[in-house]
Chains A and B, each alone.
Chain A
Amino acid sequence: MWSPPQVGLPELGTSVIYGILLCAAYTFAVAVAAGRSKPRLLQAARTGAYATSAMVGFAVMLLAYAFLTHDFRIRYVLRYSDRSMSTPYLITALWGGQDGSLLWWTALLSGYITLTVRWLKGRYRDLQPYVIATLMVIVSFFTIVLIFSANPFATTIAGSPPDGEGLNPLLQSYWMIIHPPALYMGFVGCSVPFSFAIAALITGRLDNEWIIAVRKWMLFAFLFLSIGNWLGMMWAYEELGWGGYWAWDPVENAACLPWFTAAAYVHSTMIQERRNMLKVWNIFLICLTFFMTIFGTFLTRSGLITSVHSFAQSSIGNYFIVFMGLIVATCVGLIVWRLPLLRAKTEIEAVTSREAMFVINNWALLGAMSFIAIATLFPKISEYLWQENATVGPPFFNRWLAPIGLVIFALMGLAPLFGWRKTSPELLKKSFVWPLVALFTGGALHLAFGRALGFPALVENDVFYPGAVGVILQKVGSVSPLLTIALAAFNLAVVIQEFARGIAARQSAAEKRGEEESLSVALFRLITKNRRRYGGYIVHTGIVCMFIGFAGAAWNKDKETSLSVGQSFEIGAYTVTYKGARMCPSMHPDGGGCSLEEQSDVSKRRVIANLDLAKNGKYMGSVSPAQFIYTRQQQTTTEVSILRTFWDDFYSVVGRVDPSTKQATFQLHVKPLVSWIWAGVGVLIMGTLLSLWPQFSYGRVGVWSLVRTASGAAAGIVFSIWLAMSPSLAYAKTRPRLPESTAALVAPRALASEHLGISLALGLGLVVGVGQSLRRRRDFGE
Chain B
Amino acid sequence: MTSVNEPSSPNFEAFLATLWVRRGLGVLVVALAVAAGWSGGVAAGFLVLAGAFLLLTLGLLWWSLQSLSGKSKLSLDEALSLARPSAEEEQKQSVLRALKDLEFERGVGKISAEDYQELSLHYRSEAKRLMALLDESHARSKSEVEALSASLLATPTANTASRTKADGKAASASPEEPS
Given contacts A68-B43, A209-B90, A509-B107, contact A30 B53 (CB under 8 A): no
In chain A, residues 8-38, which have Cβ atoms closer than 8 Å to a Cβ of chain B? Answer: 19, 23, 26-27, 30
Chain B residues lying within 8 Å of A423, measured Cβ to Cβ, are: 110
* Contact for A58 among B57, B83, B93, CB less than 8 A: B57
Given contacts A58-B57, A424-B112, A505-B108, contact A65 B43 (CB under 8 A): yes
A4 within 8 A of B: yes
**Closest CB of chain B to A30's CB: distance in Å?**
6
In whole angstroms, what is the CA distance A276 to B119 when docked? 14
Beta-carbon contact of A208 and B94 below 8 Å: yes
A198 within 8 A of B: no
Given contacts A40-B74, A51-B61, A68-B42, contact A58 B119 (CB under 8 A): no
Beta-carbon contact of B60 and A47 below 8 Å: yes
The stretch from B62-70, B133-141, B142-150, B163-171 touching chain A is: B62-70
B91 within 8 A of A: yes
* Contact for B115 among A57, A64, A419, CB less than 8 A: A419
Chain B residues lying within 8 Å of A276, measured Cβ to Cβ, are: 94
Chain B residues lying within 8 Å of A54, measured Cβ to Cβ, are: 53, 56-57, 60
0/1 string, A494-507, CB within 8 A of B gives 1? 00001001101110
Chain A residues lying within 8 Å of B68, measured Cβ to Cβ, are: 30, 41, 44
Chain A: CB-nearest residue to B104: A530
Which among B44, B50, B105, B109 has the greatest number of chain A C-beta atoms within 10 A? B50
Beta-carbon contact of B109 and A48 below 8 Å: no
In whole angstroms, what is the CA distance A4 to B112 when docked? 74
A2 within 8 A of B: yes
* Contact for B107 among A26, A48, A207, A505, CB less than 8 A: A505
B101 within 8 A of A: yes
The stretch from A118-126, A453-461, A627-635, A685-693 touching chain B is: A118-126
In whole angstroms, what is the CA distance A23 to B83 when docked? 27
Beta-carbon contact of B43 and A69 below 8 Å: yes
A730 within 8 A of B: no
A422 within 8 A of B: yes
Given contacts A2-B44, A4-B44, contact A51 B64 (CB under 8 A): yes
* Contact for A68 among B46, B56, B111, B115, CB less than 8 A: B46
Given contacts A43-B67, A209-B94, A530-B104, contact A48 B46 (CB under 8 A): no
**Closest CB of chain A to B69's CB: distance in Å?**
9
In chain B, residues 113-128, which have Cβ atoms closer than 8 Å to a Cβ of chain A? Answer: 115, 119
Chain A residues lying within 8 Å of B115, measured Cβ to Cβ, are: 419, 421-422, 424
Chain A: CB-nearest residue to B2: A40
Beta-carbon contact of A430 and B109 below 8 Å: yes
B82 within 8 A of A: yes
In whole angstroms, what is the CA distance A426 to B87 when docked? 39
Chain B: CB-nearest residue to A1: B40
A380 within 8 A of B: no
Chain B: CB-nearest residue to A4: B43
Chain B residues lying within 8 Å of A207, measured Cβ to Cβ, are: 87, 90-91, 94
B26 within 8 A of A: no
* Contact for A2 among B40, B61, B70, CB less than 8 A: B40
B34 within 8 A of A: no
Chain A residues lying within 8 Å of B81, measured Cβ to Cβ, are: 121-123, 125
0/1 string, B20-60, CB within 8 A of A gives 1? 00000000000000000001111110110110011011001
A62 within 8 A of B: yes
Chain A residues lying within 8 Å of B91, measured Cβ to Cβ, are: 207-209
Which among B63, B109, B110 has the greatest number of chain A C-beta atoms within 10 A? B110
**Closest CB of chain B to A14's CB: distance in Å?**
15
Given contacts A51-B64, A419-B111, contact A125 B83 (CB under 8 A): yes
Beta-carbon contact of B82 and A41 below 8 Å: no
Beta-carbon contact of B93 and A209 below 8 Å: yes
Chain B residues lying within 8 Å of A2, measured Cβ to Cβ, are: 39-41, 44
* Contact for A61 among B40, B50, B72, B83, CB less than 8 A: B50
Chain A residues lying within 8 Å of B109, measured Cβ to Cβ, are: 427, 430, 501, 505
Given contacts A40-B70, A125-B81, contact A48 B64 (CB under 8 A): yes
Chain B residues lying within 8 Å of A126, measured Cβ to Cβ, are: 84
In whole angstroms, what is the CA distance A504 to B109 when docked? 10
Chain A residues lying within 8 Å of B85, measured Cβ to Cβ, are: 125, 209
Interface size range on B against A: 35 or more
Chain A residues lying within 8 Å of B67, measured Cβ to Cβ, are: 40-41, 43-44, 47
Given contacts A419-B110, A505-B109, contact A39 B50 (CB under 8 A): no
Beta-carbon contact of A427 and B60 below 8 Å: no
A42 within 8 A of B: yes
In whole angstroms, what is the CA distance A509 to B98 when docked? 20
Interface size on A, residues (CB 8 A): 61
Chain A residues lying within 8 Å of B80, measured Cβ to Cβ, are: 122
Given contacts A51-B64, A125-B84, contact A65 B94 (CB under 8 A): no
In chain A, residues 105-131, which have Cβ atoms closer than 8 Å to a Cβ of chain B? Answer: 121-123, 125-126
Chain B residues lying within 8 Å of A57, measured Cβ to Cβ, are: 53, 56
**Closest CB of chain B to A430's CB: distance in Å?**
7
B129 within 8 A of A: no
B78 within 8 A of A: yes
Chain A residues lying within 8 Å of B50, measured Cβ to Cβ, are: 58, 61-62, 65
* Contact for B54 among A41, A58, A87, CB less than 8 A: A58
Chain A residues lying within 8 Å of B90, measured Cβ to Cβ, are: 205, 207-209
A273 within 8 A of B: yes
In whole angstroms, what is the CA distance A274 to B104 when docked? 13
In chain A, residues 523-562, which have Cβ atoms closer than 8 Å to a Cβ of chain B? Answer: 530
Beta-carbon contact of A125 and B82 below 8 Å: yes
In chain A, residues 388-429, which have Cβ atoms closer than 8 Å to a Cβ of chain B? Answer: 418-424, 426-427
**Closest CB of chain B to A115's CB: distance in Å?**
15
Chain A residues lying within 8 Å of B78, measured Cβ to Cβ, are: 43
In whole angstroms, what is the CA distance A47 to B60 when docked? 6
Chain B residues lying within 8 Å of A146, measured Cβ to Cβ, are: none
**Closest CB of chain A to B135's CB: distance in Å?**
19
Beta-carbon contact of B64 and A55 below 8 Å: no
Chain B residues lying within 8 Å of A61, measured Cβ to Cβ, are: 46-47, 49-50, 53
Chain A residues lying within 8 Å of B108, measured Cβ to Cβ, are: 498, 501-502, 504-505
Which among A41, A207, A508 has the greatest number of chain B C-beta atoms within 10 A? A207
Chain B residues lying within 8 Å of A506, measured Cβ to Cβ, are: 107
**Closest CB of chain A to B81's CB: distance in Å?**
4
0/1 string, A474-513, CB within 8 A of B gives 1? 0000000000000000000000001001101110110000
In whole angstroms, what is the CA distance A205 to B88 when docked? 11
Beta-carbon contact of A23 and B61 below 8 Å: yes
Beta-carbon contact of B98 and A273 below 8 Å: yes
Chain A residues lying within 8 Å of B54, measured Cβ to Cβ, are: 58
* Contact for B57 among A55, A62, A424, A431, CB less than 8 A: A55
In whole angstroms, what is the CA distance A44 to B60 when docked? 9
In whole angstroms, what is the CA distance A299 to B72 when docked? 46
A678 within 8 A of B: no
Q: Can you name 5 A-B residue pairings with CB atoms under 8 Å?
A: A40-B2, A51-B56, A51-B60, A68-B46, A205-B90
A residues with CB within 8 A of B: 2, 4, 19, 23, 26-27, 30, 39-45, 47-48, 50-51, 54-55, 57-58, 61-62, 64-65, 68-69, 87, 121-123, 125-126, 205, 207-209, 273-274, 276, 418-424, 426-427, 430-431, 498, 501-502, 504-506, 508-509, 530
- 9 smallest A-B Cβ distances: which pairs? A61-B50, A125-B84, A51-B60, A209-B90, A2-B40, A44-B67, A58-B53, A505-B107, A68-B43
Besides the known contacts A121-B81, A501-B108, 20 further A-B residue pairs in the complex with CB atoms under 8 A apart: A44-B64, A47-B64, A50-B60, A51-B56, A51-B64, A54-B60, A55-B57, A61-B49, A61-B50, A121-B77, A207-B90, A273-B97, A420-B105, A420-B111, A424-B112, A426-B112, A427-B110, A427-B112, A505-B107, A505-B109
B residues with CB within 8 A of A: 2, 39-44, 46-47, 49-50, 53-54, 56-57, 60-61, 63-65, 67-68, 70, 72, 74, 77-78, 80-85, 87, 90-91, 93-94, 97-98, 101, 104-105, 107-112, 115, 119
